[in-house]
Amino acid sequence: MTDPAGFAPAEEVEHLRAAAARFARDVLAPGARDHERAGRWPDDVVAVVEGFSPDTGCLAQVVLLETLAGGDAGGLPAADRPGPAAGAVDLCPDRSLAAGATDAVLTVAADRLAWAPGWPPRRRVWLSSGDHLGLAEIAAEPVAVEALAFAASGGVSLDLAGARVLGEWELPPGGGLFVRGRARLWVAAVAVGIGQAAFDATVAYTTERVVFGRPVAHHQANAFQLAGLATGIHGARLAVRDAAASYDGGDPAAGFWATQAWREAIDAAVAVTEAGIQLLGGHGFLVDHLAEKRFREARMLGLGFGGLDVALDDLAGAVLAVPDPLLGT
């Protein structure tokens, strides 16, 4: 399959994507379990991933993120910088502060965040609520993440109540959604990569595994299910790339399109990874396959940046043209 005109990456990015695909296949995927147990990617792996970070726009970034996540997404939150925080960096009025703050955007809903990937003891973190943008230094304590997802990025407990605020700014109308949408687009690209990898693994297994004299995939119910899952992942990929192109083009509604793409990508990734576990039968729960790992990751991605409720609130606010649709104001 080929991408529709307008959504294919530039030639130089396609060369990077091909190299990233080989790296994901030959290094990331075979080492995924070891990296998860170690709680980190090796320094040489991180260095290679950092080398894939392009300066050619948002579309290039999501293409490469998807490709790398297809091998192992476990260490990406820690290795890819600024990653989800790119939107906040772009809109921060204080460029000197923005240059040293490269961590993710948090939509604050509690005084303490129980888990966050890839942060050492003290980090500068972007805080977003409505059209307000904040930058704070937050104390953190390491936590065990073996039972969660993205263990290769490590994990910390963030004490938001004890944050030291470094700056607070009022953004132009829609600026908050622009920042959060950019963070969600990072997540959506990773979700598509995880979902595609899970789909490919499921097809490979179900076309080789024979039940009642026929490959599992050739039974009608399973074949139809796989067809639907393929449609979902491809649609999510197009939505993500469309939203990325809107950021590259300076579309003021880019955050809206990115939030829609995020929801579509999460739904598709969860559906594919869950089906993968079911179609692999008992094998889907074993560490011999990456099916259960990808399922954990897809579920965890749906909780980021406020989760579904905050995303729907953002979308409703844009549709109804009110800052807070729940209050009608």
* Residue 296 token pair: 């954990």
Question: Are the beta carbons of 148 and 107 closer than 8 angstroms?
Answer: no
Average pLDDT over residues 173-199: 93
pLDDT of residue 9: 62
* Residue 284 token pair: 């889907």
* Residue 302 token pair: 């749906």
Hey, what CATH class is 175-320 in? mainly alpha
> Mind listing the pLDDT tens digit for each residue in 106-135?
655 444 444 455 544 457 788 888 888 888
pLDDT of residue 290: 87
Question: Are the beta carbons of 82 and 135 closer than 8 angstroms?
Answer: no
> Whole-prediction pTM value?
0.88
Span(s) in the chain for CATH 1.10.540.10: 11-83
Question: Are the beta carbons of 130 and 89 closer than 8 angstroms?
Answer: no
Span(s) in the chain for CATH 1.20.140.10: 175-320
Q: Which CATH superfamily is domain 11-83 in?
A: Acyl-CoA dehydrogenase/oxidase, N-terminal domain (1.10.540.10)
Using pLDDT thresholds of 50, 70 and 90, give the confidence band for residue 286.
low
Q: Does the pLDDT at position 188 exceed 80? A: yes
pLDDT of residue 82: 77
Question: Are the beta carbons of 177 and 314 closer than 8 angstroms?
Answer: yes
Q: Which residue's entry shows tokens 């109804």?
A: 320
Closest CA to 118 of 161, 74, 72, 86: 74
Neighbours of 239 (CB within 10 A): 22
